[in-house]
Each structure stands twice: as C-alpha cells, then as structure tokens.
Amino acid sequence: MGAVDCVHDIPLQDWALPGEPFRLVAVATDAADWAERLPAEARERAARFTDPKARAQAGASEWFKACWLPRALGLERGEWKTGTHGKPRLARAASEWGFNLSHAGDYVVAALAKGTAIGVDLESLARKTDVEALGARVFSESERELVRAGGRDAFFALWSQEEARLKAMGCGWANGDVARRTRLEIAACQVEPATRVRVWSRRAPIGAYALAVAIF
C-alpha cells in the first residue's frame, strides 16, 4: 500500500494538550471525499461499507493508517499485524511506536506514542444508550454512584476510560456482548495489572464527546 498514492490535503485537528506524551490528531469524517485520497487497497476496504456515515468513518480510518501514519513516521509504507485480540499494530521499523484509532459521530481520532502501547476511545454523548441500565451491568457500585450523580457525561467518561485501557493492553476486541465486555475481558487479558496503565480523560475539544487515552 504505497503512501505515494495518498493525498495529504486533509485539515487535521490537534487534540493533544501541552506536556502529554503522545500525539492526538483528529479529522472530521466529512472533511474530504476519502475515495479520492486513498490508495487502491484502502479505498476498496472503505467502499465495502454501504452506509454513507460508516463508509466515511472507514475512509478516514484508512487514510490515517495508509497515509498519515507512514508520513508521520518517515516510512514509505505501513505494514500491519494483528494481535491476539485483534488490535492492529505496525510491523518492522515502526514496531517501537504505539498507534490506535477511534471513531464516533462525525470524527476519527488517531493516537501515536513512542516506546509504549497506546489506546484511544472517543464516545459521542448523543449516542442512544440507557446509561443507568448498562452501567448496572458493567460498572462497580462506586462507578454506578458516579453515573447516578453525573448522568451521561459521567457514564461516557468512565466507559471511554475503560475502552482506552483495554485497547492499550491489546484486549477487548473479540468477545461478544458489549454490555459484559469490560469485566470479562479485563480478567482474560494476559498482561501486567491494569495499575500500570496511565489514563488521560476529558471532553474532546469539538463538543459533546468523551475522550480517553491510555498508555501501557
């Protein structure tokens, strides 16, 4: 997948704050006609989505992997491997870099860090979710108290933190019911204790989105 086939005229948004040990870059999914800016293989993968919104999210995600990331790392091409739980990672010369993507609503965000695994999660606060019912199934009692007190903002802050942790640790992709995923898959994750994971959590700069980044 040659980066020479990419078009790099995409308006990027820098979401990282000063002092944070990672890059955090986002694009709006309507920022470009992605089919005109991708190499052939990436364009074909994005085109498999029939829903226009899903196709735009896929196009932006493919652009980050095929175009933005190789250029950011000074590589001619991005070569990907898939971990045990489905997490994609760069192979060969770029293996020292951690990279992750997340999408929600009208945005796709990419996280990049050197010398550490990284996970990012973006959640739209407008997502139709019964937060109290789902929180009762996946959160601890203290977390449920936070959700009862803080409502949707608190729920999605906690949810995005959990997702980012799992993604940094390379878990959380494959196993079934989303409402049971966090507790079951943390237990099944064969890595060091989660206390080694550092998490940054806040509102995304574009409004009603919860954002979390974890490094491991």
What's the pLDDT score for residue 216?
86
Q: Which CATH superfamily is domain 3-215 in?
A: 4'-phosphopantetheinyl transferase domain (3.90.470.20)
What's the pLDDT score for residue 139?
87
The DSSP secondary structure of the chain, one letter per residue, reads: -BGGG-------EE-PPTT-SSEEEEEETTSS-GGGSS-HHHHHHHHT--SHHHHHHHHHHHHIIIIIHHHHHT-SB--EEE-TTS-EEE-GGGTTEEEEEEEETTEEEEEEEESS-EEEEEEETTS---HHHHHHHHS-HHHHHHHHHHHHHHHHHHHHHHHHHHHHHT-SSS-S-TTTHHHHHHHH--SS-GGG-EEEEEE-TTSSEEEEEEE-
pLDDT digits (tens, 9 = 90+) for 3-47: 448 999 999 999 999 999 999 999 999 999 999 999 999 999 999
Question: In the structure, what pLDDT confidence band is assigned to residue 174 with cuts at 50, 70 and 90?
Answer: very low
pLDDT digits (tens, 9 = 90+) for 192-202: 555 588 999 99
What's the pLDDT score for residue 133?
86
What's the pLDDT score for residue 189?
59
- Single pTM value for the model: 0.85
Please state the domain extents for the chain. 3-215
